[in-house]
């Protein structure tokens, strides 16, 4: 009888050890709960997700994760479940990425009475951003010295992460007024262009101080896009939607036309996910790739834009 009792005790101990080994550690669980609570509070899809099931699925995915590092894969899994197509998770270790893409730019084919502006990727360094703005504004001033029938704004390959510097730089061509919105289920925040000042709602985010006004501010504008136009590049496409005498040419954009917010987690990792979408001045939100008004192959897109500008009145 005593032998049987010992065997039962041993079996119970081993069973307890096995159960303990298979459960997630408190540290890893708390970390994932931190992430899930953030997503539940801020995600653009927060009203369309069963968060009880979401939490259960993410914790189950973590399995027996013992450390925060072992739980990182489950953070990526949680972002997949959001299905917003524009989320990312980066651990505290820096990663080198090179997303710079440059389309084949036209050479010697732009008539003198057509302004041409190529908006390359906006840099992140503040000094470089200032140089970027000034170079674009100077190009506008130089090309506007002679009568201009219209403008080409080339956004092909633009996958910038900063919207406001580009809005400010292109302001003379874009014009004044509400040019778009950040929009989600509970809020609409306008983007406003006002003589070189850019506002998000009532907050001033860019100020050129010295604003240049085009000789013909109502001149037609052709927007060029391709499959590598994304992120803030798509925001500029949206900003021109609804502008009079404006038409887009090329191929549809990548489809990441959303407002992402980035948060630093307790271990120093960063998580970025969609909290809203870009909407045009008519409050039409763009959640997927943006189709051009005229679909044109890359080898014909500039000439088609020029023809349209010359025919516009």
Give residue-wise pLDDT tens across range 150-167. Answer: 999 999 999 998 899 999
| 56 three-state secondary structure | helix
Q: pLDDT-derived band of residue 186, with 50, 70 and 90 as boundaries?
A: confident
Q: What is the DSSP string of 90-157?
A: E-SS--------------S-S-TTEEEEE--PPPSSHHHHHHHHHHHHHHHHHHTTS--SEEEEE-TT
Instruction: State the residue for tokens 């302001």.
Output: 171
Task: Decide if 62 contacts 28 (C-beta within 8 A).
Answer: yes
Q: What is d(CA 210, CA 208) in angstroms, rounded to the nearest whole number?
A: 5
Nearest one of 248, 65, 214, 206 to 142, comparing CA atoms: 214
Q: Give the pLDDT of residue 217.
A: 92
Structural domains in the chain, CATH included, are: 2-83 (no CATH), 114-311 (3.90.226.10)
In this predicted model, what pLDDT tens digit does every residue of 193-219 receive, in sequence order? Answer: 999 999 999 999 999 888 999 999 999
Task: Decide if 120 contacts 154 (C-beta within 8 A).
Answer: no
Res 251 pLDDT > 80: yes
Q: Give the pLDDT of residue 273.
A: 94
In this predicted model, what pLDDT tens digit does every residue of 32-46 receive, in sequence order? Answer: 999 999 999 999 999
Nearest one of 307, 309, 298 to 156, comparing CA atoms: 298
Q: What is d(CA 232, CA 246) in angstroms, rounded to the nearest whole number?
A: 19
Any idea what the Cα angle at residue 290 is, between residues 285 and 295, rounded to 5°? 145
For the chain, the C-alpha Rg in angstroms (whole number) is 26
Res 13 pLDDT > 70: no
Res 131 pLDDT > 90: yes
Q: What is the DSSP string of 132-149?
A: HHHHHHHHHHHHTTS--S
Task: Decide if 302 contacts 224 (C-beta within 8 A).
Answer: yes
What's the mean pLDDT when you consider all of the chain?
A: 89
Res 22 pLDDT > 90: no
Q: Give the pLDDT of residue 4.
A: 46
């Amino acid at each position: 009888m005593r032998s049987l009792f010992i065997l039962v005790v041993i079996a119970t101990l081993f069973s307890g050890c096995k159960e303990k080994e298979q459960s997630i550690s408190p540290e890893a669980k708390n970390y994932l709960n931190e992430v899930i609570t953030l997503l539940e509070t801020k995600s653009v899809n927060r009203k369309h997700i069963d968060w009880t099931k979401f939490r259960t699925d993410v914790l189950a995915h973590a399995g027996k994760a013992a450390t925060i590092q072992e739980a990182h894969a489950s953070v990526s899994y949680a972002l997949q479940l959001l299905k917003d197509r524009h989320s990312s998770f980066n651990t505290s270790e820096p990663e080198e990425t090179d997303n710079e893409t440059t389309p084949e730019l036209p050479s010697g084919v732009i008539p003198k009475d057509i302004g041409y502006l190529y908006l390359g990727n906006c840099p992140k360094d503040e000094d470089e951003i200032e140089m970027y703005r000034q170079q674009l504004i100077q190009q506008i001033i130089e090309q506007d010295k002679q009568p201009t029938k219209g403008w080409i704004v080339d956004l092909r390959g633009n996958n910038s992460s900063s919207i406001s510097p580009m809005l400010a730089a292109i302001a003379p061509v874009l014009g004044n007024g509400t040019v778009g919105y950040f929009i989600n289920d509970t809020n609409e925040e306008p983007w406003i262009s006002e003589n070189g000042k850019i506002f998000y709602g009532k907050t001033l985010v860019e100020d050129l101080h010295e604003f240049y006004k085009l000789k013909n501010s109502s001149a037609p504008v052709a927007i060029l896009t391709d499959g590598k136009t994304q992120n803030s590049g798509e925001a500029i496409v949206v900003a021109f939607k609804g502008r009079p005498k404006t038409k887009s040419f090329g191929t549809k954009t990548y489809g990441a036309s959303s407002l992402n917010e980035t948060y630093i987690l307790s271990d120093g990792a960063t998580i970025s996910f969609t909290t809203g979408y870009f909407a045009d001045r008519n409050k039409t939100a763009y959640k997927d790739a943006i189709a051009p008004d005229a679909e044109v192959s890359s080898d014909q897109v500039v000439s088609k834009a020029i023809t349209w500008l010359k025919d516009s009145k």
